[in-house]
Amino acid sequence: MMTMMMGEKWAQLGSVIGSIMFAWAMFNQYFPQQLRDFILKYGQKFVGFLSPNIHITFHEFSGEYFKRSEAYAAIQTYLSDKSSMKAKNLKAEVVKDSSQSVILSMAENEEVTDEFEGVKLLWASMKHAPRTQSFSWYPEASDGKRYYKLTFHKSKREFVTRTYIHHVLQEGKEITVRNRQRKLYTNNPSQNWHGYQARKWSHVAFEHPSTFDTLAMESKKKEEIKNDLTKFSQGKEYYKKIGKAWKRGYLLYGPPGTGKSSMIAAMADFLKYDIYDLELTTVKDNTELRKLLIETTSKSIIVIEDIDCSIDLTGQRKKKKEKVEEEEPKDPVSKMAKDEEEESNSTKVTLSGLLNFIDGIWSATGGERLIIFTTNHVEKLDPALIRRGRMDKHIELSYCSFQAFKVLAKNYLDVDSHQLFETIGHLLEETNITPADVAENLMPKSLTEDADACLKTLIEALETAKEEARKKAEEDMRLKVEKEEKEKQQVAQEDVKVDESLAKEVKENCVEVVKG
């Protein structure tokens, strides 16, 4: 009996659905398009008047098809985690410049719920099918218009429009930044800035393995730098409050091989920033320098390595020594062409232009940016270039200490302690050796070489460096003594010459007196 009643209900429901479908087909076939649009428009208004919900749509493309909406992309990213856990129908997309292989998102006509600050909201992924099939250069145009629809109770209108949507867009952008493939940029010469698909910067994927865990440095110093970077990355409101551009300068200095480039890579890994490696010698003048700055993005590190060797930052170009006449071109035309070539190859970036790049009005464009200089000779830099406010934090990367050695031993040999550590510690106190040299000696050179062999190799290298340093010190002392002896002899010779000159003058005066 119960089965028969259920069968009758299903039959009635099927009949109702069939009638609705038949009526809808008749409606689409016999009603004119304008009338159908009019009925649907006011029908939706009537249903909306009765419904307590509000709907907001976010279309994938705004205006032209090829211009994708940033809001749609942010919402898609925000919903990716929620949809992968809750939705039943998903689609996988390969997103350009993302560290993830595929991104999962809701398929069309799928819905997921979201809860924020106790308010439940409904997201739906929708698509308008095109009315007519037409050819288009853009696949999205022929495939239909996709959009997200947000549904919520009308009592939450102010909360959603002022708080929730801002939260979704902001969170979506932050997730995109976290998941993006970091890039390493280098500036192109200005003659390549024009033409089809010309770019001021070229880039490759940045996959440097250096991190703060692998840096050969004292733990206390690492934590100090990491805390400083964290404070900067979270300081948007603070920098706005004090009226400063959201940027920070770092000066990395020390002997070659002490890990300046590795430090930059570790900073980029820690903050998830891109790196712009600025080659100043290819920049013609200050105007080009400003144009390059404008083309950089936020959440990036602008690096100028070996700043003391890049250009003459005083703006006064040193004249080359005059060559021997036979080496100079005798033809005036050839000489003029050579002078023009040298002039075209030289950069006219000045100290003033570089200072404006770092700390001027143009430096405020973009925001959230680090500017890093590296140098082996900090004493050669102009004080105006590295003062606080431009290079805010000075970090000295010096020779390898015992704590830095222990980090390298852990990284290269997976050794935390060893009986040879004490010997190595004493030698490091007596010898100046860079972390790069220590790392090279710790690296196994064959499959049979173990930790003992590598540590002994390092001890031999340290003893050799110690002996060479002793010999160099003795040689320097010998040269210094010889130089002092020569100076004394020169002074003595000059004194003798003066005495002889005075004696001669006295003699001549006496002769003149006698004659008179």
CA geometry: angle 118, 122, 127, nearest 5 deg: 160
pLDDT digits (tens, 9 = 90+) for 173-202: 888 877 778 899 999 888 878 766 678 899
Rounded Cα distance between 113 and 122, Å, is 5
Rounded Cα distance between 154 and 158, Å, is 9
pLDDT at 132: 54
In this model, does residue 37 exceed pLDDT 60? yes
Q: How many CB atoms lie within 10 A of CB 230?
A: 12
What residues pair up with 370 in beta bridges, in sequence order? Answer: 248, 301
**DSSP 8-class letter at 163:** I
pLDDT digits (tens, 9 = 90+) for 405-449: 999 999 999 999 999 999 999 999 988 999 999 999 999 988 888
pLDDT at 478: 87
**Contact (CB, 8 A) for 274 and 342:** no
Q: Give the pLDDT band of residue 319 (cuts 50, 70, 90).
A: very low
**What are the backbone dihedrals phi and psi of residue 374, each rounded to the nearest 5 degrees, phi first?**
-125, 150
pLDDT digits (tens, 9 = 90+) for 227-260: 999 999 999 899 989 888 899 999 999 999 999 9
At which residue do the structure tokens 């991104």 appear? 103
At which residue do the structure tokens 């200490």 appear? 401
| Domain residue ranges of the chain, discontinuous segments joined by + | 28-130+140-179, 184-312+348-396, 414-516
In three-state form (DSSP H/G/I as H, E/B as E, the rest C), the secondary structure along 45-82 is HHHHHHCCEEEEEEECECCCCCCECHHHHHHHHHHHHH
Task: Name 461's Cβ contacts closer than 8 Å, sequence gap at least 6.
Answer: 433, 437, 441
Q: Give the pLDDT band of residue 97 (cuts 50, 70, 90).
A: low
| DSSP-derived secondary structure for 258-284 | SSHHHHHHHHHHHHT-EEEE--GGG--
The dihedral through the CA atoms of 209, 213, 219, 221 has a sign that is positive
CA nearest neighbour of 76 among 54, 46, 106: 106
pLDDT digits (tens, 9 = 90+) for 328-337: 555 555 555 5
Average pLDDT, whole number, for the chain? 79
pLDDT at 290: 87
pLDDT at 371: 93
CATH of domain 184-312+348-396: 3.40.50.300
- Classify 63 in phi/psi space as left (phi over 0), alpha (psi -120 to 50) or beta: left
pLDDT at 498: 67
